[in-house]
Amino acid sequence: MRAQLRHLIDISDRQRNVSLQVLPFAAGAHAATSGPFVIIEFPDAPDLAVVYLEGQTGGIYLHGNEEVARYALAFEHLRAAALSPAATMCLIEEIAANT
Protein backbone atom coordinates (compact mmCIF):
# COMPACT_ATOMS: atom_id res chain seq x y z
CA MET A 1 0.00 0.00 0.00
CA ARG A 2 2.87 2.37 0.74
CA ALA A 3 4.11 2.09 -2.86
CA GLN A 4 0.62 2.89 -4.17
CA LEU A 5 0.36 5.95 -1.94
CA ARG A 6 3.82 7.13 -3.02
CA HIS A 7 2.76 6.66 -6.65
CA LEU A 8 -0.26 8.91 -6.07
CA ILE A 9 2.00 11.55 -4.54
CA ASP A 10 4.47 11.32 -7.45
CA ILE A 11 1.74 11.57 -10.10
CA SER A 12 0.18 14.54 -8.36
CA ASP A 13 3.57 16.27 -8.19
CA ARG A 14 4.52 15.59 -11.83
CA GLN A 15 1.24 15.97 -13.69
CA ARG A 16 -0.28 19.44 -13.72
CA ASN A 17 -3.58 18.03 -14.99
CA VAL A 18 -3.98 15.72 -11.97
CA SER A 19 -5.56 16.98 -8.78
CA LEU A 20 -6.22 14.58 -5.91
CA GLN A 21 -8.76 15.23 -3.19
CA VAL A 22 -9.83 12.83 -0.46
CA LEU A 23 -13.40 12.84 0.79
CA PRO A 24 -13.01 11.86 4.45
CA PHE A 25 -15.49 9.58 6.21
CA ALA A 26 -16.25 12.50 8.52
CA ALA A 27 -17.92 14.28 5.57
CA GLY A 28 -20.82 11.86 5.95
CA ALA A 29 -23.38 11.38 3.19
CA HIS A 30 -22.26 12.85 -0.10
CA ALA A 31 -23.32 13.46 -3.70
CA ALA A 32 -21.94 10.16 -4.99
CA THR A 33 -23.46 7.68 -2.56
CA SER A 34 -25.27 6.05 -5.48
CA GLY A 35 -21.93 5.03 -7.01
CA PRO A 36 -19.03 6.23 -9.11
CA PHE A 37 -19.40 8.24 -12.29
CA VAL A 38 -17.14 9.73 -14.92
CA ILE A 39 -17.82 12.98 -16.76
CA ILE A 40 -16.24 12.87 -20.21
CA GLU A 41 -15.72 16.25 -21.84
CA PHE A 42 -14.36 17.07 -25.27
CA PRO A 43 -12.38 20.34 -25.57
CA ASP A 44 -13.30 20.78 -29.24
CA ALA A 45 -17.01 20.08 -28.64
CA PRO A 46 -18.07 21.25 -25.15
CA ASP A 47 -21.75 20.55 -25.89
CA LEU A 48 -21.03 16.83 -26.32
CA ALA A 49 -20.20 16.01 -22.69
CA VAL A 50 -21.17 12.52 -21.54
CA VAL A 51 -21.58 10.88 -18.14
CA TYR A 52 -20.53 7.24 -17.82
CA LEU A 53 -22.03 5.10 -15.07
CA GLU A 54 -20.92 1.55 -14.43
CA GLY A 55 -23.13 -0.91 -12.63
CA GLN A 56 -23.34 -4.63 -12.00
CA THR A 57 -25.11 -5.20 -15.30
CA GLY A 58 -22.90 -2.99 -17.45
CA GLY A 59 -22.25 0.61 -18.31
CA ILE A 60 -24.62 3.43 -19.20
CA TYR A 61 -23.83 6.63 -21.08
CA LEU A 62 -25.92 9.70 -20.33
CA HIS A 63 -25.65 12.53 -22.82
CA GLY A 64 -28.58 14.84 -22.19
CA ASN A 65 -27.64 18.37 -21.11
CA GLU A 66 -29.77 18.15 -17.96
CA GLU A 67 -28.30 14.78 -16.99
CA VAL A 68 -24.72 15.95 -17.54
CA ALA A 69 -25.45 19.15 -15.59
CA ARG A 70 -26.84 17.10 -12.68
CA TYR A 71 -23.63 15.06 -12.46
CA ALA A 72 -21.43 18.14 -12.91
CA LEU A 73 -23.20 19.71 -9.94
CA ALA A 74 -22.73 16.52 -7.91
CA PHE A 75 -19.02 16.60 -8.76
CA GLU A 76 -18.75 20.21 -7.59
CA HIS A 77 -20.44 19.26 -4.31
CA LEU A 78 -17.92 16.43 -3.88
CA ARG A 79 -15.01 18.77 -4.53
CA ALA A 80 -16.37 21.28 -2.01
CA ALA A 81 -16.80 18.61 0.69
CA ALA A 82 -13.40 17.00 0.10
CA LEU A 83 -10.09 17.99 1.62
CA SER A 84 -8.11 20.52 -0.38
CA PRO A 85 -5.42 19.11 -2.69
CA ALA A 86 -2.73 20.29 -0.23
CA ALA A 87 -4.49 18.72 2.77
CA THR A 88 -5.03 15.55 0.74
CA MET A 89 -1.29 15.29 0.00
CA CYS A 90 -0.51 15.75 3.70
CA LEU A 91 -2.96 12.99 4.60
CA ILE A 92 -1.61 10.59 1.98
CA GLU A 93 1.98 11.30 3.05
CA GLU A 94 1.06 10.71 6.71
CA ILE A 95 -0.65 7.42 5.91
CA ALA A 96 2.26 6.31 3.72
CA ALA A 97 4.72 7.08 6.51
CA ASN A 98 2.73 5.04 9.01
CA THR A 99 2.11 1.93 6.89
d(CA 24, CA 91): 10
Strand order in the sheet with 58-62: 37-40, 50-55, 58-62
pLDDT of 61 above 90 = yes
pLDDT of 10 above 90 = yes
pLDDT of 91 above 90 = yes
For residue 79, what is the enclosing H or E element? helix 65-81
Longest pairwise C-alpha distance within the chain: 45
Query: Shortest CA distance to 96 belongs to which of 23, 2, 31?
Result: 2
For the segment 28-43, the average pLDDT, to the nearest whole number, is 88
Write down the domain spans for the chain.
Answer: 2-15+34-97
| pLDDT range class, residue 80, cuts 50, 70, 90 | very high
